[in-house]
Amino acid sequence: MSGDPADGRVLLVRPTGDATDGGSDEVERDSGGEWTRGGTDVEPGGDSRQFDGDGEIDANTEVVVETLEEELSVDVVVRCRDTAVEYVEELGPTLDCIVVLGDDRALIRSLIEDDAVPTVVYEPPFVETVEMSDPTESTITGLVERVRAEVAAAKRTSHLRESNARLTALSHFAEDITACETVGAVVERTLDATTQALAYDYAVIYLLEGDRLLPRATSLPDASVRPLHVDEGIAGRTLRTGESEIVSDLQSVEDARPQIDELHAGISVPIDGRGVIQVASGARAAFDESDLEFVEILAGYAREALERIEREVTLRRERDRLHAFFDGLPAPAIYVERRDGELRIEEVNGAYDEQFGTVRSGRPLADVADVPETEQFEAALGTAGVSTGVVERPTAAGGVGTFALHVVAVSPPGSDECAYGIYVDPADDGSVPGYFG
């Protein structure tokens, strides 16, 4: 996330007896940036060490701090030699760079034991990083540019580390989301991923129903989230255009409809015409392109899950329609599925019971059908179409009958290979084969 109060954090380690404190190691900067000793304001100085006209500098702490803060917009934390090592041990991950005033090699070795934070040594007439063998002259410009480069590199590394951590956390939710069985479960797990894996405080997931976007899951107070018309607000625009967007300040955007005054920055991402995911922050300009990419990845998981559920709903309806047709057929009919590589009978209709006798569910098809009949089922499944033929079957009356067999391959939810078989007595009027022929 962007929107940090500074473009980096730098630890400045001042030498013992620095001119800033008149020789006392008790002097530090307070939260307002003032130099203090024991909580009392003190004036820096006491000698003549300052920048000359060419930008040369001796190690004057106050001048270095002010220059870094002004030129780089970084947050500079000042510590004396005796407290710097402890500070790095405790808060090293929050630092982008360490600047040591004076070539104190024992101190430097203590600061970089874990090689976690880049360290710049600043001792006129040279400025150098610990790892470098080619120090440069110590102009103030040289110092600023060296620290700028180290802060930029540290932030890139930190950003990559953070991105990898968030991707890892997000991956834990991916399988859960895509495996959800209901729309409600999808939006709830997607919200969990938004607030837990991506660590956004405020989020809402809208789904399209008719011409309205309905809030189906939110981390905001329920009273602050209302349904939106598809022509309304940033969410409506996101759905209509299918394009994601970042908003620096929701309170200043005419299309925005924030119900909470404290919300400012926002991200709005479409779920492929099915809805919208929005996240928000209490800070302005709190999101960047990497945040947008993460929410888009999450929207992709939600879209995949919703698409699968829609397909399954459609297939269930088709299955129900086929079963209604199946149950009402006057001709014997059988429904089979492939289980563990074997075709098994799952269901028969009443006419089948009357014609051939009762068959328990789960029985192998080969137990009641000869090889040509079984091969006809395999032929239909192999082409995912319709197979027709003539078979002979023992009947419940004790004889053997000849029947026209029509096998129709289908794919209901939860199974890839299923088929209906309809047995028609040639003595009938032929109306049943007309459904398939």
Q: Within this chain, do residues 34 and 103 fall inside the same structural domain, yes or no?
A: yes
Residue 3 has pLDDT above 50, yes or no: no
Q: Within this chain, do residues 244 and 353 fall inside the same structural domain, yes or no?
A: no
Q: Within this chain, do residues 356 and 278 fall inside the same structural domain, yes or no?
A: no
Q: Within this chain, do residues 62 and 187 fall inside the same structural domain, yes or no?
A: no
Residue 304 has pLDDT above 90, yes or no: yes
**8-state DSSP, 246:** E
Do residues 206 and 276 make contact, with C-beta atoms less than 8 angstroms apart?
yes
> pLDDT exceeding 90 applies to what percent of the chain?
35
Q: Within this chain, do residues 152 and 28 fall inside the same structural domain, yes or no?
A: yes
Q: Within this chain, do residues 222 and 137 fall inside the same structural domain, yes or no?
A: no
Q: Give the residue from 285, 311, 337 where a domain finishes.
A: 311
Instruction: Give the residue ranges of DSSP H helices in 329-390.
Output: 350-356, 371-383
Residue 200 has pLDDT above 60, yes or no: yes
* Whole-number pLDDT of residue 90: 80
Where is pLDDT greater, at 308 or 326?
308
Indicate the pTM of the whole model.
0.53
pLDDT bucket at 55, cuts 50 / 70 / 90:
very low
SS3 280: strand
Where is pLDDT greater, at 145 or 77?
77
Distance CA 191, CA 304 (A): 15
Note the pLDDT tens digit of each residue in 129-171.
555 445 455 566 777 787 878 777 766 666 666 666 677 777 8
List the beta bridge partners of residue 242: none
Where is pLDDT greater, at 140 or 226?
226
pLDDT bucket at 426, cuts 50 / 70 / 90:
confident
Read off φ and ψ for residue 124, nearest 5 degrees: -50, 135
Q: Looking at the domain assignment, is residue 171 inside a domain?
A: no
Domain that holds residue 263: 179-311
The CATH number for 391's domain is 3.30.450.20
List the beta bridge partners of residue 280: 202, 266
Q: Within this chain, do residues 220 and 124 fall inside the same structural domain, yes or no?
A: no
Place of tokens 């000869």: 370
Residue 29 has pLDDT above 90, yes or no: no
Q: According to the per-residue pLDDT averaged within each range, which of 32-41, 60-69, 273-282 is highest?
A: 273-282
What is the average pLDDT score of the chain? 79
- Say how many domains are in the chain: 3
The CATH number for 283's domain is 3.30.450.40
Q: Looking at the domain assignment, is residue 366 inside a domain?
A: yes
Q: Looking at the domain assignment, is residue 164 inside a domain?
A: no
Q: Within this chain, do residues 305 and 337 fall inside the same structural domain, yes or no?
A: no
pLDDT bucket at 27, cuts 50 / 70 / 90:
very low
Q: According to the per-residue pLDDT averaged within each range, which of 312-326, 388-402, 410-424 is highest?
A: 388-402
Q: Within this chain, do residues 99 and 56 fall inside the same structural domain, yes or no?
A: yes
Q: Within this chain, do residues 22 and 146 fall inside the same structural domain, yes or no?
A: yes
* Whole-number pLDDT of residue 435: 40
* Whole-number pLDDT of residue 136: 52
CB neighbour class for 273 (10 Å; exposed up to 12, middle 13-18, buried from 19): exposed
Q: What is the mean pLDDT of residues 69-92?
A: 85
Q: Within this chain, do residues 91 and 121 fall inside the same structural domain, yes or no?
A: yes
Residue 86 has pLDDT above 80, yes or no: yes
Residue 379 has pLDDT above 70, yes or no: yes
pLDDT bucket at 217, cuts 50 / 70 / 90:
very high
* Whole-number pLDDT of residue 97: 85
Residue 12 has pLDDT above 70, yes or no: yes
Q: Would you say how long the chain is, in residues? A: 437
pLDDT bucket at 364, cuts 50 / 70 / 90:
very high
* Whole-number pLDDT of residue 292: 92
Q: Looking at the domain assignment, is residue 100 inside a domain?
A: yes
DSSP string for 76-110:
EEEEEHHHHHHHHHHHGGG-SEEEEES--HHHHHH
Give the range among 62-76, 121-135, 323-337 with minimum mean pLDDT.
121-135
Q: Within this chain, do residues 261 and 215 fall inside the same structural domain, yes or no?
A: yes
Q: Looking at the domain assignment, is residue 168 inside a domain?
A: no
